[in-house]
Amino acid sequence: MSKSQRDKGYRTENKVRLKALEHGLDAYRVPLSGGASIKGDVVVKNSVDEWVLEIKCRGNGFKQIYSWLEDNDALVLKADNKPELVCLPMADFFDLLMGRHNGSKAVE
């Protein structure tokens, strides 16, 4: 991994951490992510749960996902013989963790 890739990953992980804090959640970056006992990159906590998030950032690698999500609240992804995954905007995810999501519109 090049320094620019590592720096881009750090910036993205830190932005996720800061967004979680803005939403009133506790969050921290995992030191030595991937090499530590916690396998994710960022841990987000509400009063009940702890979520370990793996963060991926690509220049254009997820373009199709964004177009599928456009004008929808969430996207369900499924590969053969694998469980369904739900993709949704990060702000909506954090609002759900804080109990502030109301139907298809997040409470501001």
Q: How many CA atoms lie within 13 A of 20 on its CB side?
A: 21
* Residue 85 β-bridge partners: 77
Identify the pLDDT of residue 27.
Answer: 97
pLDDT tens figures, 26-63: 999 998 766 667 789 999 999 999 999 999 999 998 99
Map out the domains of the chain with their CATH numbers.
3-106 (3.40.1350)
**57-102 tens-digit pLDDT:** 999 989 999 999 999 999 999 999 999 999 999 999 999 999 987 6
- Per-residue pLDDT, averaged over 9-29, amounts to 95
Confidence bin at 107 (pLDDT 50/70/90): very low
Residue 23, number of CB atoms within 10 A of its CB? 20
Q: Looking at the chain, which runs of residues are DSSP E strands?
A: 26-29, 42-45, 50-53, 75-77, 85-87, 101-102, 105-106
Higher pLDDT, 100 or 108: 100
pLDDT score at 106: 46
Provide CB contacts within 8 A for 34, sequence distance 6+. Answer: 41
pLDDT given at position 108: 46
pLDDT at 38: 74
How far is Cα 67 from Cα 35, in angstroms, rounded to an integer? 33
